[in-house]
Chains A and B, each alone.
Chain A
Amino acid sequence: MSATAVNAPTREVTRIPRSLNSRARDAFAIAQRNLIAYRRVPQLLIFSTIQPIVFVIMFRYVFGGAIGGYKGFAYVDYLMPGVFVQTVVFGSLATAIGLATDMKSGLIERFRSLPMARSAVLTGRTFADLARNVFVYVLMVVVGVIVGFRIHGVIGAFLFSVVLALGFGYAMSWIFATVGLAVGDPETAQAAAFPVLAPLVFASSAFVSTASMPGWLQVWANHQPVTATVNAVRDLCLGLPATGDVIAALAWMIGIVVIFVPISVRLYRRAV
């Protein structure tokens, strides 16, 4: 350390930024910071990619023979859209863990003492997790193709299904932002997330048809967001009529965002 004068306390900026542009700049800075963490701590990414690959192998080769095809398609074509959606839903758990980690470390406190957009911590976090989901999604499509998955509809419909699934994952990120901010501790966030994730992902049409489930469970399984999104993504991949399922999936997505964005923002404002 040198002993010469460090700075005269003149501030280069005196204006308080309120423009959309400066908000986006703050969010981008936070998103970039979160993405660097994925690069530096690759185990964060490796675990969340190995898990869906294990699911693909398990369902495709272990249970697949017993489950059988669907509307004339091979089981692998039924399975992969379910795996895609499951992957982005599990991926959104990273939002809870990331925010809880930042709260625990005190980083959120430093952010709160800075003249930055209040929204940036949450939007930056969720956008980083969206970017991460895009990466994992591409990987899972490649894995799917390797194990025999084929697109049966038009390519445009498939691409739309990707957007739909990623949009759903983004909406789920806001649910888990709420969880992460509420518990404020990464281990607790992970533990709290599983009871939410399990009924959503497993009691859905992701891996098996809901028709095989007992009646009481079907009531839940047929009326929940993962089933709606999986059905829409599956219809689009298989080239089946999709309008009804797509509308249901979009309705869920918008509903989740409308409810959980304000709750997360509120929790963030109160979090200390």
Chain B
Amino acid sequence: MSEAAILVEDLHKRFGDLAALDGVDFQVPHATVFGLLGPNGAGKTTAVRILSTILPADGGRAEVLGHDVRRDADAVRLSIGLAGQSAAVDPNLTGRENLRLIGLLAQLPRPVILPRASELLDRFDLTEAADRPLRTYSGGMRRRLDVAAALVPKPPVLFLDEPTTGLDLQSRNALWEMIRDLVADGTTVLLTTQYLEEADRLAERVAVIDGGHVIANDSPKALKAELGSTVIEMEFSDAERAERAESLLPKVPDAHPEREGSTVRISSEDGSRLLMEALRLLDTEDLAPAKLNVREPSLDDVFLALTGHRAEAAEVAAESDDAPQDGARSNRGAA
């Protein structure tokens, strides 16, 4: 067995004219969480689909627990669980029936399947809904069942493709807790997400993908350090005032203002000092911002900093997630 649980080397995949993966490399050590970050269409779902043997790559190497995903696909399939936007559940089956089906198809011995299903339904707080068809589930319940389905065969490697999109806060926290437990028990998790916060809480290491390339591969801490710990957004009443603020702010040590219309953004490791100095300086020129927003860096900020463009469409995808699964195919081509 190789030292990495998941190994990806120079992976390529094209869909027509679009290079979804254009030479992607990363490695995931055993019993760790690896976060794959990027906007919709960045290639992270394509990477997950190749690693879970759903989709053949055009070139490069992809291995799970030392098994090549192409030549040794069955061995890979015996080692993985898949949940999230690449995998679906059957809306006409009950929660229990869905888990039983996955158990059967994962080649578990019959006697262990139903007890395992009951255990997972209990853990995911779905016991009451266990014998209702999934059509009657809320978006969050369906998400939870989807993750439970991935866990039925106790896979040593788990792919979670945006697992918390559409989950309420409580379910999300519970899922994070569970992921930590799984990793403590030795499971390796590859997590794709659009939220830096999620990767930050869970992942030892994060790769940011954009346009089919890995543009950063580091610990979340290091990634954020590049941006500072605080982002200060100042909105001015018009673009002219924002422009004046932009030219004024570099006087504050460490401030590298970025302007977008009437909004000026600065980020720093030392947020409160920066905020006070910036406001003091702006006050001398009577440039008080109309609106002020102080927050932690988001994936959007990481993107802006790393690529110079916004992670567009990210929010649209997050919002549409509670909708029924009808759209699943439409975001497959490029995602």
Chain A residues within CB distance 8 Å of chain B:
1-14, 16-17, 22, 25-26, 29-30, 33, 36-37, 40-41, 103-107, 109-116, 120, 184-185, 272
Contacts and interface: CB of A to CB of B under 8 A. Distances in A.
Contact of B182 (A6, A12, A110, A116): A6
Contacts of A185: 329
B279 interface: no
A41 B223 CA distance: 50
Contact of B105 (A10, A36, A37, A114): A114
Interface string B278-294: 00000000000000000
A185 B122 CA distance: 35
Interface in B63-112: 74-75, 77-80, 82, 85-93, 97, 101-102, 104-109, 112
Contacts of A25: 104
Most chain B C-beta atoms within 10 Å of own C-beta, residue among A4, A25, A106: A106
A106 B85 CA distance: 8
Nearest to A121: B105
B123 interface: yes
B174 A11 contact: no
B139 to A, nearest CB: 15
Contacts of A111: 105
Contact of B52 (A11, A26, A113): A113
B186 A114 contact: no
Contacts of A7: 151, 154, 182, 185, 187
Given A1-B177, A3-B174, A104-B329, A113 B77 contact: yes
Nearest to A14: B78
Nearest to A112: B54
Contacts, number: 153
B186 A8 contact: yes
Nearest to B133: A40
B165 to A, nearest CB: 14
A16 B72 CA distance: 11
B77 A114 contact: yes
9 contacts: A6-B178, A6-B181, A9-B155, A13-B109, A14-B78, A105-B325, A107-B89, A112-B53, A272-B55
A192 to B, nearest CB: 17
Contacts of B105: 26, 29-30, 111, 114-116, 120
Contacts of B144: 1
Contacts of A10: 154, 156
A33 B49 CA distance: 24
A242 to B, nearest CB: 41
Most chain A C-beta atoms within 10 Å of own C-beta, residue among B87, B102, B107, B329: B107
Contacts of B329: 103-106, 184-185
Given A11-B78, A16-B78, A106-B325, A113 B177 contact: no
Contacts of B93: 33, 36-37, 40
B187 A9 contact: yes
A11 B112 CA distance: 12
Contacts of A105: 88, 91, 325-326, 328-329
Contacts of A109: 49, 54, 86-88
B260 interface: no
B53 A1 contact: no
A109 B87 CA distance: 6
**Ranked 10 nearest A-B pairs via Cβ:** A1-B174, A106-B88, A9-B156, A106-B328, A115-B77, A110-B87, A37-B92, A116-B105, A29-B104, A16-B74
A105 B133 CA distance: 16
A215 B184 CA distance: 77
Most chain A C-beta atoms within 10 Å of own C-beta, residue among B80, B85, B106, B120: B106
A104 B55 contact: no
B151 A6 contact: yes
Contact of B184 (A5, A41, A115): A5
Contacts of B52: 113
B109 A12 contact: yes
Nearest to B185: A8
Interface string B144-177: 1000010101111100000000000001001101
A120 to B, nearest CB: 8
B178 A3 contact: yes
B309 interface: no
Given A6-B120, A9-B186, A110-B82, 16 more contacts: A2-B122, A4-B181, A6-B178, A6-B182, A6-B185, A40-B93, A41-B92, A103-B329, A105-B91, A106-B86, A110-B88, A114-B106, A115-B107, A185-B329, A272-B49, A272-B55
Contacts of B181: 3-6
A41 B104 CA distance: 23
B332 interface: yes
Interface in B313-335: 325-326, 328-329, 332
B191 to A, nearest CB: 16
Contacts of B108: 12-13
A106 B124 CA distance: 22
Contacts of A13: 78, 106-109, 153
A191 B2 CA distance: 51
B327 to A, nearest CB: 9
Contacts of B91: 105
Contacts of A36: 92-93, 97
